Structure 1
């Protein structure tokens, strides 16, 4: 038996945590409060916050950020939670992340580049106004 990696039960538990984040299920917060790492990442480098942001769950994103989640952490493809929210045109998630200090120029493509690429002038303007690097 190989004891160098996580066991099947631990992997299944982690998958359940990622599913809760995707679903916007705030029961996830109880697990985080009990010790699940707030920046737990899946095999692609997506954090719980990234998954919640991409799936447009602003209340869960806010609660994870309040618990110390890294709002600018990039996944393995170099994408930020803010860029994911912009891609989905999730204005409430974008507003929450900007309010928490997310960097619109972080990642590749950045949230600002994503808004411009998809012709979302309204979000691009909000991102530009909150980005100290574009003033």
Structure 2
């Protein structure tokens, strides 16, 4: 949610922010044409009317602000821009319009987040496609190492995953703690995402964090996920950093049967 602070703004500027938030184009035009409201006026957090209109998807207000000279690439205190907010909320028409007037995909917020990462995190496939077409870096990462594909996998967004993989995303790009998209999907039990990731040969072995996707799936009790990983070649005899076998992490009989069957097949 876009929070605002009106501590340093005049009543007229506050009215402009309100109009941008509500999509009241007539009021916004009246205020801007009065000459008494700066089109780039900010609240104490650095929020502009353009950011507010972009966040709420009011394309008519966005257009008016831009045509009246609003600076598209201004950053809030957090580092976010109008493009970031439009992408985060999935407003593809706003995203496209902002690109027509020079929006940049390179700005980052305080966490390292970009418009592309925000769109992936919230599963907005059409926005992701638009951003990539306009030069967004598919290898963008948050400062903790979370990549676009990691964030999409975390939310179970299959259409975004497909788009990223077909555009060259690295399936094994880990977060700083070693967690990968496959591990996150295994924890969540997003089997359709796992099936897609498996087409690109993700790491099935032990990760930097001392566990594997199979261990995670077993711990989460996802029978279908365990089966998918075993079919793809995950090792049922692999020990984690605590020296535990996958079978030692569950009492689920169906999962235990799957693991034991695969163990026998590997030994035979």
TM-score normalised to structure 1 length: 0.80
After superposition, the Cα gap between the structure-2 partners of 1:95 and 1:39, relative to the gap in structure 1 and judged at 3 Å, is: same
* 2:245 counterpart of 1:110: yes
Q: Distance in 2 between matches of 1:34 and 1:48?
A: 16
How far the C-alpha of 1:14 sits from its partner, in A, is 4.1
Which structure 1 residue ranges, 4+ long, deviate > 6 Å from structure 2?
none
Bigger Rg over Cα: 2
Q: Contact between 2:179 and 2:207, CA under 8 Å: does it hold in 1?
A: yes
Task: Find the aligned partners of 1:59 and 1:85 in 2 and give their Cα distance.
Answer: 14
Change (3 A) 1:67 1:16: closer
1:49 aligns with 2:182: yes
Q: How many residues were matched structurally?
A: 125
**Structure 1: gaps spanning 5 or more residues:** 1-6
Query: 2:219, 2:212 → 1: CA distance?
Result: 11
Residue aligning to 2:260: 128
Of residues 10-19 and 83-92 in structure 1, the stretch that sits farther from structure 2 once superposed is 10-19
1:35 aligns to what SS in structure 2?
coil
Answer yes or no: is 1:97 the counterpart of 2:232.
no
C-alpha separation between the residues in 1 aligned to 2:154 and 2:253?
Answer: 27
Matched, 1:77 2:212: no
State the Cα distance separating 1:61 from its structure 2 match. Answer: 0.7
Q: CA deviation at 1:91?
A: 0.8
Q: Distance in 1 between matches of 2:219 and 2:178?
A: 18
CA RMSD of aligned residues (A): 2.2
Residue aligned with 1:62, SS: helix
What secondary structure sits across from 2:255 in the alignment? helix
